[in-house]
Structure 1
Amino acid sequence: MTANNPVVAAFVAAINEGDKAAFEALLAPDATMSDDGSDRDLGQWTEREIFSAGGHFTVESQEPDGLSMLARFRNDTWGEMKTRWRFTLTPDGSKIQRFETGQA
């Protein structure tokens, strides 16, 4: 399943392709994120949990706007787990301002 929102779909594709430059281009300059309810350093977290660990995203279900979803997320460190993702876009809808993830 592909994410309904084009920015979120590009986020998922960048992760699955291991394309860090494409991923970073989707983020607002001051983007933030949280994991299991705790704010994290976005650069350190994405490097450790996604890009250095072979992260892969499979969307299982989502809200109609594509900004909230359940996904199976797999990486070489933790294996596969069901996760919840929520995205906040910039006011013009072109970039990700914040994402929140955690085990579902």
Structure 2
Amino acid sequence: MTIQPAKLSDPAVRAFVHAVNSHDREGFMALLAPGATMADDGSDQDLAEWIDREIFSSHGHMEVDNESGGGRVLLARYSNDAWGEMRTKWRFTVDDDGRISRFETGQA
């Protein structure tokens, strides 16, 4: 069963999913802490390049199936124009100021 983004527990993660699904690049970038990092399938990636390729230029979309870790770990069906749909796991590190300093994703 899909969890509606508005019902996600962690405010930063909730805003992240909303920004991805509404293709709001500006809103997405505002959620990230300065110097934020990310990894895909265990390999660190260039954040700006990755989000362009995997989210914004390819119409990325997240359907969240499960959350854990206080809302900072998601199991989601992720789809984009490049890869179609796949089951993915997302793990977020949120700073004290509520901004995301790191996220990691990969196939689940």
Normalised TM-score (structure 1):
0.96
Alignment of 1:64-75 (within 5 A): 65-75=70-80
For residue 22 of structure 1, give the secondary structure of its aligned residue in structure 2: helix
Contact 1:57–1:71, Cα closer than 8 Å, also in 2? yes
AA partner of residue 84 (structure 1): K
What's the counterpart of residue 84 of structure 1?
A: 89
Note the residue ranges of structure 2 that are not aligned, 5 or more in a row.
Answer: none
What's the counterpart of residue 100 of structure 1?
A: 104
| Aligned CA-pair RMSD | 0.8
Contact 1:4–1:64, Cα closer than 8 Å, also in 2? no
Change (3 A) 1:42 1:56: same
Structure 1 residues 2-40: Cα deviation after superposition (integer angstroms, max 9, x where no partner):
321011000000000000000000000110000000000
AA partner of residue 99 (structure 1): F
Q: CA deviation at 1:64?
A: 5.2
Percent of aligned positions that are identical? 55
Normalised TM-score (structure 2):
0.93
Q: CA deviation at 1:82?
A: 0.2
What is the aligned length?
Answer: 103
What's the counterpart of residue 35 of structure 2?
A: 30
Over 6 Å off, 4+ runs: none
Range 59-68 or range 80-89, more displaced: 59-68
Q: CA deviation at 1:78?
A: 0.1
